[in-house]
Amino acid sequence: MSSRAKGKRGELEVAEFLRALGYEAARSQQYNGRDGGADVVCSIAGMHIEVKRTERLQPYTFMQQAVRDAKNNAVPTVWMRSNNREWLLTIRAMDMFRFAEMLHAARVSP
């Protein structure tokens, strides 16, 4: 499988995961990866989502890209996984409380 196809599949998996949790989410459909847009757009306001589906996990490098690409003071997040592994979510410790508040605010009441 090409790296582009693997990346697309990863983005679709993350969007599906977020939808299963009750949030609206979709692949942003960026094609060249150089526009600085989020890989997945989501109803959790203020979250920038960077998706990495690779065998070589490099969390600091991935986070550096997410920080660079995050717009409007968004919390940069990195969703990553290797083959046959579960998804990992990485956020900076300094963003932890703001991230928790964003999740709570985006929660849909039954």
The two tokens of residue 19 are 């939808």
d(CA 9, CA 4): 9
d(CA 88, CA 6): 16
CATH for 51? 3.40.1350.10
d(CA 14, CA 75): 17
Place of tokens 């991230």: 99
Does the pLDDT of residue 106 top 90, yes or no?
Answer: no
pTM comes to 0.87
Name the range with the highest mean pLDDT among 1-15, 37-51, 95-109.
Answer: 37-51
16-60 pLDDT, tens digit per residue, is 999 999 899 999 875 445 556 899 999 999 999 999 999 999 999
Give 57's Cβ-side CA count (13 Å radius).
Answer: 14
89-100 pLDDT, tens digit per residue, is 999 999 999 999
Q: Please count the structural domains in the chain.
A: 1
What residues make up the domain containing 40? 3-106
Give the helix ranges, DSSP H, for 40-95: 59-69
